[in-house]
A = this chain, B = another copy of it.
Amino acid sequence: MADGIFNKKVTSRVTMADVGRLAGVTQVTVSRALSHPDKVSKDTLRRIQDAIDATGFVPNAVAGALASKRSNLVSALIPSLTNVVYTSFMATFSDHLRQNGYQVLLSETGFNTASEDALIATHLSRRPDAMLLTGIHHSDKARKQLQGAGIPVVEIWDITDEPIDICVGFNHSAAGHAVAEYLKAKGHAFAATITADDERALRRQSAFAERFTVLSQNAVPDANTGGTASIGAGRAAMAHLIDHSDFRKGAVFCSSDLSAHGAIIELRARGFRVPQDIAIVGFGDQDFARDIDPALTTVAVDRLRLGHLAASSVLDKLMGQPIKSVHDLGFKILTRLSA
């Protein structure tokens, strides 16, 4: 039957056996040539290479993984693909792993646990050699499956004494406390918060509010952006704060640099001066923080280091080396002009 392109190409998937035939050796030798070239004679190696070029052979990693029980795949689950805070360390993490022969299977979980559970199972079915998870709160089912998988698991961007396996992150409550103390020390008697709908942001916010209230004896109003942080959401939240509370002077701790930037834009549009009338603190130290006007005071976490540490912990564990299981990266308040 004339099926055009298809019956030719689809069936034409070259195997090691094909390459071997062309090179005058068996399939096993081809396999060896690829994974242990030192165990194959120079001459054979050349003939095999020629055969590979001639056929356009691409090894079948699926078969390889099944036979060797090593997939060279590392799964990674992050809350959002469009949030630079997460993708920036993923870029580092992937890169580091790639250089060591691993590929990263990346998925977005959203911020709810249910979809994380399903994703974990799907990912485990690909038999990854290791797994990265964002955050430390996972369902019992997930923990059980992860443990049953018997692979290294890194939990990042938060910290706990009882990680599933490895943990690289920092303490969100401590960050909230630190900002409260920073702002009080700067002389602010009033403060408010702008917070996105994400568990860790809420933890920072409540730690901040609790501590600032103690220090100043003043309540800390919060404007929840009710979703993902963005410049638009920050503007809206700032507007809400001013329109619906008597907050006119003080400092605002935002759960993200994005909403902080939005807050600044809104304030300026309304004629407020930043930081003289209202000071703004962000979170995340995104690349633009230093470039906006006024430059944004924010909480920085070394995401590059996080990506590296997460990757090298996994790699070390994979190679059977002893590793530290909990890394507290800490954070730093970067004082710039906005607060």
Contact = CB atoms under 8 A, between A and B. Distances in A.
Interface of A: 6, 9-10, 12-14, 56, 58-63, 65-66, 71, 73, 80-82, 84, 87-88, 90-91, 94, 103-108, 121-127, 144-145, 147-150, 230-232, 235, 258, 262, 265, 268-269, 287-288, 290-293
B56 A66 contact: no
A230 B10 CA distance: 44
A231 B231 CA distance: 14
A9 B105 contact: no
Contact of A288 (B73, B145, B232): B232
A145 B56 CA distance: 7
B293 A232 contact: no
- List the 8 closest A-B pairs by CB distance, nearest first: A231-B288, A61-B125, A232-B291, A9-B150, A10-B150, A81-B87, A231-B291, A81-B91
A109 to B, nearest CB: 11
B105 A105 contact: yes
Contacts of A292: 231, 265
B107 A104 contact: yes
Nearest to A8: B150
Q: Which of A60, A148, A149: most chain B Cβ within 10 A?
A: A148
A62 B58 contact: no
A6 B62 CA distance: 25
Contacts of A148: 9, 12-14, 56, 58
Q: What number of copies of this chain does the assembly contain?
A: 2
Contacts of A124: 58
Contacts of A291: 230-232, 235, 262, 265
A322 to B, nearest CB: 13
A62 B103 CA distance: 15
A71 B126 CA distance: 9
13 contacts: A9-B147, A12-B148, A58-B124, A58-B149, A61-B126, A63-B66, A82-B84, A84-B84, A91-B108, A103-B122, A104-B107, A232-B288, A265-B293
Contacts of A103: 105, 107, 122-123, 126
Contacts of A12: 148, 150
Nearest to A90: B81
Nearest to A258: B288
Contacts of A63: 66
A10 B288 CA distance: 45
Q: Which of A80, A82, A122, A144: most chain B Cβ within 10 A?
A: A82
A125 B82 CA distance: 28
A21 to B, nearest CB: 18
Contacts of A232: 287-288, 290-291
A337 to B, nearest CB: 12
Contacts of A10: 150
Contacts of A268: 293
A153 to B, nearest CB: 12
